[in-house]
């Protein structure tokens, strides 16, 4: 119950802030002020970039790209690319739009490159080593009763020292 009250309160607060900003920005635009809209655009771009930059920190710390859907990254990068192209071929060139979409596209392409360096390249090397017969399979199979193949149970403790085909 406390969780529902907290979430509902937070949603109402954030919804009120958003509605207030919409009316305030419309009023500012009606008076011919452009800087509030530019500030909001820059702020949203900075927060989006900060969200992507946290992946770079994770990549730096762990030396691998983990927890990232490359399908999502591709879709998001494609959206940035198409938005950038639409800004470039628009009737007027919006420099701020080019900077915002270009920054996002660059950050997502960097994630792709890091995925290739830290994940794809070692995977290809491992696969080529297995194909050449240089690496052994890390799984070794031993004949055991099925009840003891995964977990050690009471039935497995008496047969662990002998093979099923050996008599006691």
- The residue among 109, 110, 86, 108 whose CA lies nearest residue 98 is 86
The model carries a pTM of: 0.65
What is the per-residue pLDDT for 129? 78
Residue 92 lies in a domain: yes
- With cut-offs at 50, 70 and 90, classify the pLDDT of residue 54: very high
Better pLDDT: 52 or 164: 52
Tell me the residue range of the domain where 77 lies: 33-131
Split into its structural domains, the chain has a count of 1
Residue 72 lies in a domain: yes
Q: How far apart are CA 132 and CA 79, in angstroms?
A: 41
- With cut-offs at 50, 70 and 90, classify the pLDDT of residue 5: very high
Residue 10 lies in a domain: no
Average pLDDT on 135-145 reads: 59
Cβ within 8 Å of residue 88, ≥6 positions away: 98
Cβ within 8 Å of residue 120, ≥6 positions away: none
By the 8 A CB rule, do 76 and 49 touch? Answer: no
Residue 163 lies in a domain: no
Residue 164 lies in a domain: no
Q: How far apart are CA 139 and CA 162, in angstroms?
A: 20
């Amino acid at each position: 119950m406390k969780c529902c009250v907290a979430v509902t309160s937070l949603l109402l607060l954030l919804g009120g802030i958003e509605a207030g900003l919409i009316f305030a920005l419309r009023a500012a635009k009606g008076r011919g002020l452009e800087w509030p809209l530019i500030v909001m655009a820059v702020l949203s771009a900075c927060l989006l970039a900060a969200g992507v930059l946290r992946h770079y920190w994770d990549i730096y710390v762990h030396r691998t790209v983990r927890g990232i859907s490359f399908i999502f990254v591709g879709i998001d990068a494609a959206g940035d690319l198409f938005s950038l192209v639409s800004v470039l071929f628009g009737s007027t060139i919006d420099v701020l739009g080019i900077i915002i979409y270009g920054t996002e596209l660059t950050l997502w392409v960097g994630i792709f490159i890091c995925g290739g360096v830290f994940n794809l390249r070692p995977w290809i090397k491992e696969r080529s080593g297995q194909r050449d017969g240089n690496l052994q399979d890390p799984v070794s199979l031993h004949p055991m009763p099925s009840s003891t193949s995964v977990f050690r149970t009471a039935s497995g403790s008496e047969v662990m020292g002998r093979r099923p085909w050996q008599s006691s």
